[in-house]
Every structure is written in structure tokens, then in C-alpha cells.
């Protein structure tokens, strides 16, 4: 039996067909296997199924056919959720709560020390806005906060959808630094149209081969 704490970091799609509701499938017969440590990139045109792959890895979207696994466990299982982090494109923030309170709340959910998240916020340049309500933050600062919140605690697998969107130079450089560190020990997958030229991506996966072209 697999041990959740000692299972190798990996993701796998085995002949997966998936879509939304009763709409036609977005991806068909999709297979992919990645093992840590790696920095990989999922790329493709709009509508090729990149975000669908992320939602399948999150466990919220279930495949119509095939299997999706994280660290050898079904992606929808509680066991997979503990060791996985998902960062979607659009921040989900409470506009009247401060940036500090968001980090504290997210840290508790991830069984992590708030001090670590707050230290990262300062490294991202958020120190002047920690006591500000998130509804008053710029788009870029909301993005920085969201990235931090989605990557707190101890994890093996992290998937980020268009993580560089809306970031200023300071935020982009800090994110590159963190991605480089994560890629040395974790399975790091980014979903992105464009990335910085010097980002050390080791594997790229093009989605068009499995796409129906109906949505992203």
C-alpha cells in the first residue's frame, strides 16, 4: 500500500477524456506522466485544454474516462490534496480582509507557520500593504498575495496557471527564484502562454494533440 508521506512526487494521466457538464469533451485520450524533480510547462493555444488539465489535477473536475493520479493516488482523494498545491489564474480573495489576515488564514489551512508566509510576502515587496484590505490592492499585488497563499506549507506537487500574468519585475524575479528552488526537489508544472526567457524549463507538453479546441 502506498504511504502518502513517502510516495514519489508524480502526476499521471492515463487515457483521459474530460469535459464540462454535458458539453463535448475538451480533451480526449490524454496521457502524461511526470516525476519529480522537474520544472515542466504545459502550453498550447486558447481552447486547447490547458486549464482543463489543471482542474483535473485539482480533483474538482473528474474525468469521463481514464485515470488522473497525484503521487500515485486518485487526484480527487483527500490523500492527494494534502501534498498538492493548485494556483489558478484568478485570485479568490475577501476584499475587506487584510493581506496579512489572508496569509494567516491560508497558513492555518496548509498547516504552515504564518511567519514563513509573511516573510515571503516581504520578499515579494508586499510589506507596505500587509495591513491593507485586499480590495484596495493593485492587480499585481493581489497576484503576489494569491501566489503566496497557494504555495504555503509542505508539498510535493504544485501546478500554477499563468503565474506571471500581472506581476511587476520584482514579483516576476521572485517567482522565478522560487520556481527554480522548487524544481530541484518538487514536481513543478506551469500552465503558460509565455514565460521568461531564462526560466529553466526541462520539459514542455503541447496540448493540441489531445484537444477538441472548444475551450481552455
Residue 53 is predicted with a pLDDT of 96
- Domain containing 58: what range? 8-83+156-216
User: Is 142 found in the same domain as 96?
Assistant: yes
pLDDT digits (tens, 9 = 90+) for 112-171: 999 999 999 999 999 999 999 999 999 999 999 999 999 999 999 999 999 999 999 999
Q: Is the pLDDT of residue 102 over 50?
A: yes
User: Is 16 found in the same domain as 78?
Assistant: yes
- Does this model's pTM top 0.75? My answer is yes
Could you tell me the CATH number of the domain that includes residue 52?
Answer: 3.40.50.300
Helices (H) and strands (E) in the chain, counts: 6, 9
- The last residue of a domain, from among 138, 154, 170: 154
User: Is 122 found in the same domain as 76?
Assistant: no
User: Is 74 found in the same domain as 17?
Assistant: yes
Q: Going edge to edge, which strands form the sheet with 73-74?
A: 27-35, 10-18, 65-70, 73-74
Q: Is the pLDDT of residue 215 over 80?
A: no
pLDDT digits (tens, 9 = 90+) for 21-64: 999 999 999 999 999 999 999 999 888 999 999 999 999 999 99
214 belongs to a structural domain: yes
- The last residue of a domain, from among 136, 154, 172: 154
Least confident of 6-15, 58-67, 71-80, 186-195: 6-15
Residue 99 is predicted with a pLDDT of 98
C-alpha to C-alpha distance for 146 and 198, rounded to whole angstroms: 23
Q: Is the pLDDT of residue 216 over 50?
A: no
Q: Is the pLDDT of residue 213 over 90?
A: no
* pLDDT bracket for residue 208 (50, 70, 90): confident
Beta bridge partners of 65: 17
Q: Is the pLDDT of residue 5 over 70?
A: no
Q: What is the DSSP letter of 104?
A: H
User: Is 76 found in the same domain as 19?
Assistant: yes
Beta strand extents in 76-211 (DSSP E only): 84-87, 157-161, 187-191, 203-206
Amino acid at each position: 500500500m502506498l504511504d502518502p508521506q513517502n510516495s514519489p512526487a508524480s502526476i499521471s494521466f492515463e487515457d483521459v477524456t474530460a469535459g464540462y457538464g454535458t458539453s463535448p469533451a475538451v480533451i480526449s485520450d490524454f496521457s502524461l506522466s511526470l516525476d519529480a524533480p522537474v520544472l515542466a510547462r504545459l502550453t498550447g493555444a486558447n481552447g486547447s485544454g490547458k486549464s482543463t488539465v489543471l482542474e483535473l489535477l485539482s480533483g474538482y473536475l473528474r474525468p469521463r474516462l481514464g485515470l488522473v493520479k497525484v503521487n500515485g493516488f486518485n487526484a480527487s482523494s483527500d490523500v492527494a490534496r494534502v501534498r498538492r498545491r493548485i494556483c489558478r489564474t484568478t485570485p479568490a480573495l475577501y476584499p475587506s480582509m487584510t493581506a496579512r489576515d489572508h496569509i494567516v488564514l491560508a497558513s492555518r489551512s496548509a498547516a504552515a507557520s504564518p511567519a514563513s508566509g509573511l516573510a515571503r510576502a516581504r520578499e515579494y515587496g508586499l510589506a507596505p500593504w500587509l495591513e491593507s484590505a485586499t480590495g484596495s490592492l493593485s492587480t499585481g499585488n493581489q497576484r503576489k498575495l494569491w501566489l503566496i497563499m497557494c504555495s504555503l506549507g509542505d508539498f510535493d506537487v504544485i501546478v500554477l496557471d499563468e503565474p506571471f500574468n500581472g506581476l511587476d519585475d520584482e514579483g516576476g524575479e521572485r517567482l522565478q527564484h522560487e520556481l527554480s528552488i522548487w524544481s530541484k526537489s518538487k514536481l513543478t508544472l506551469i500552465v503558460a502562454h509565455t514565460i521568461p526567457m531564462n526560466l529553466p524549463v526541462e520539459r514542455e507538453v503541447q496540448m493540441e494533440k489531445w484537444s477538441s479546441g472548444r475551450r481552455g
